[in-house]
Structure 1
Amino acid sequence: MTATLPEGLALTRNAHGREFIQINHPAVTATIALEGAQVIDCVPAGKQPLLWMSPIDPRMPGTALRGGIPLCWPWFGNSRPGPAHGIARTSPWQLIDAQRDDQQVRLRLELAAEQMKALLPDERWHLQVEFVIGKQLSVSLTSTNLGKQAQPLSQALHSYLPVADITQASITGLEGCRYIDQLTSQEHRAQPGPILIDQEVDRIYYDHTAPVILHQHNGRCLEVTREGSHSLVVWNPWQAKAARLSQFPQDGFRQMVCLEASNAGPDARVLEPGQSHTLVTRIRQVPGTG
């Protein structure tokens, strides 16, 4: 970590030795893991948490954390050989800038160049993430191809959102949108109405840029907006898969759903030498009726 932390921000270390940036600001409290550059909680003042984090994850060094917003980069899923969802979510990052004002906190982190050695020899990237944390949470992931060849890029901001009961929640904003069902590999199906989840769901919705809203029966609504993204992943492992996942509580599937700003499926990109691309997600609580 090279940047100086302003008032209200502190570097902490848990009992296992993993390091975090703890944010205590009048407008928000939040925690970001330096390993993985992963925001794991964010609570605007007077509001409920914007993110879900597994209560049984011990947050050990060298592990992918279960919850918050893992950074899936430079590939999504298992689309390339190597660790699932790429190298970014388990690599150490460096804090290069930290600022605060009366409304929010702004942090920028950079993936160390030495971490790129895990990629192919002809791949050269610069990767930076910016967090803007206040009444809403904004995460911007910027990739720049520093190499001499065009490079494929698929990625996601794997946002875990909290729900009181997934069986009484719905997701709107994707009506009529085509999607790929990754459980069956079926393509070009159109979403007939709001999404209701009562089984495992793993879908890539594409050709879509509009806001998406997670509604709950208690009236709480979370809105997800995106930039640099024409695809959105909706994921809930349900009971059988949840039992096979690491650091996932037995009934955890009932308290979360992932709505992920992405460049996945047909929305995967190719960056020419010198080209940059920024993927953005913003999450906020909005008025609603459930």
Structure 2
Amino acid sequence: MTDDLITLQSPDGASARLSLHGGHLLSWKPAGASEQLYLSPRSEYVPGKAIRGGVPVCFPQFSDRGPLPKHGFARTLPWELVQQQQGKDDALVVMRLRDSEQTRAIWPHAFELELSARIGGRTLDIELACENLGEAPLQFMAALHTYLRVADLDAVSVEGLAGLRYWDSIKQAEALQRMDLLLTGEKGVLDLDRIYFGVKDRPLLVSEDRRQVAVRQQGFEDAVVWNPGPERCAKLADMPPEGWSEMLCVEAACIGRPIELQAGESWVGRQSLELL
């Protein structure tokens, strides 16, 4: 795994770690602050397996909404390093995944996927770009499956989702979010797996006591909020049994309306996290 690791350091002290395995962001520490992402201590760093935690890239399929492996193949394949640099007040890394015999065998398209991560101060910008290199149109779903680290899930709220309709993947039903999402109280409520549609550019605020992380997205229409809860977490081999209580996924995603690219066209989506 060590050969795959990339360390980013900005002049102000912000840092991040990434792996070329899956084009995966593993760690983000804003300047003067502690770790903001959850990474499972039970993750297996082996070819063909996804890393649990950090920011996995879901592409070209979300979850099991299609014939491909769950969440597609981008998170389990080796990426290549394109660029790494330190500016006067930030640091940047760019990684790339191109189609191969392996990907074309299950998804017959020529494409180039690029992930860039920029850190500086208390901000992390992650950008995912896809270009259709083939002659035919292609269609895909995508998500930045961000695992935010929390100390006490019972003290967490997510503001900015009120008024949106969502698909509840646990209940297999659509519903309306009438107010801010509060993760307080009964542990049973915490088996959360929701796709919020039409989030677009509206900012979300994840609060826990005095800590607040602003989550903004561009190019991604939807957002996913996920926590496996204690029962489902116990069944995940790559998560400790109590891991569910230390994380909340808030993901920028395109699921409801897959992105369509004609030959030569490109798409870009971004998720920005800022520790306030």
TM-score, normalisation: structure 2: 0.92
Which of 267, 270, 276 does residue 277 from structure 1 map onto? 267
2:129 aligned partner: 142
Question: Residue type of the partner of 1:194?
Answer: D
Deviates more, 1:77-86 or 1:169-178: 77-86
Which residue of the partner structure matches residue 180 of structure 1? 167
Alignment-mate amino acid for residue 162 of structure 1: R
* Residues 213-251 of structure 1: CA deviation (Å, up to 9, x unaligned): 11102x001111001011000000001110111311111
Give the AA of the match of 1:150.
Answer: P
Distance 1:186 1:62 in 2: 32
Looking at structure 1, the residues matched to 176 and 272 of structure 2 have their Cα atoms a distance apart, in angstroms, of 25
1:133 pairs, out of 105, 119, 124, with 119
2:26 aligned partner, one-letter code: I
**What is aligned with 2:186?**
none
Q: Give the letter for the 2:94 counterpart.
A: R
Q: CA deviation at 1:148?
A: 2.4
Q: Determine helix, strand or coil for the equivalent of 2:154.
A: helix
* Secondary structure of 1:253 counterpart: helix
Tell me the residue number matched to 2:90.
Answer: 104
2-structure distance, mates of 1:213, 1:97? 31
Distance 2:33 2:117 in 1: 19
Please give the alpha-carbon distance, in whole angstroms, between the structure 2 residues aligned to 1:22 and 1:162.
19
Q: Cα RMSD over matched residues?
A: 1.6
Compute the displacement of 1:183 (Å): 1.4
For each residue in 1:132-151, what CA deviation from the matched residue of structure 2 results, as whole angstroms up to 9, or x when unmatched? 12221111111111222222
Once superposed, which parts of structure 1, at least 4 consecutive aligned residues long, lie more than 4 Å away?
Answer: none
Count of paired positions = 267
CA contact (8 A) 1:50 1:283 kept: no
Secondary structure (helix, strand or coil) at the match of 1:154 reads strand
Q: How far off its partner does 1:196 sit?
A: 2.0
Local SS of the residue matching 1:257:
strand
Counterpart in the other structure of 1:232: 223
- Give the alignment of 1:250-261 within 5 angstroms: 250-261=241-252
Q: TM-score, normalised by structure 1?
A: 0.87
Task: Give deviations 1:41-76, integer Å, cap 9, x for gaps.
Answer: 010121122211112324344421110000000111
In structure 2, how many angstroms separate the alpha carbons of the residues matched to 1:268 and 1:92? 24
Equivalent-residue separation in structure 2 for 1:249 and 1:282 (angstroms)? 28
Kept in 1, the 8 Å contact 2:215–2:273? The answer is: yes
* Match in the other structure for 1:6: none
Q: Structure 2: which amino acid aligns with 1:53?
A: L
**Is residue 8–residue 92 contact of structure 2 (8 Å, CA) maintained in 1?**
no
Could you say if the C-alpha distance between residues 192 and 56 of structure 1 is closer, same or farther in structure 2, counting changes exceeding 3 Å?
Answer: same
Contact 2:56 2:144 in 1 (8 A): yes
SS of equivalent residue, structure 1 residue 167 = helix
Identity of aligned residues (%): 32
Secondary structure class of the residue paired with 1:127:
strand
Query: 5+ unaligned residues in a row in structure 2: which ranges?
Result: 184-188
Where does structure 1 lack aligned partners over 5 or more consecutive residues?
1-12
- The structural deviation recorded for 1:118 is 4.0
6, 9, 19: which one aligns with 1:33: 19
CA distance in structure 1 between the partners assigned to 2:94 and 2:4 by the alignment: 16
1:86 paired residue number: 72
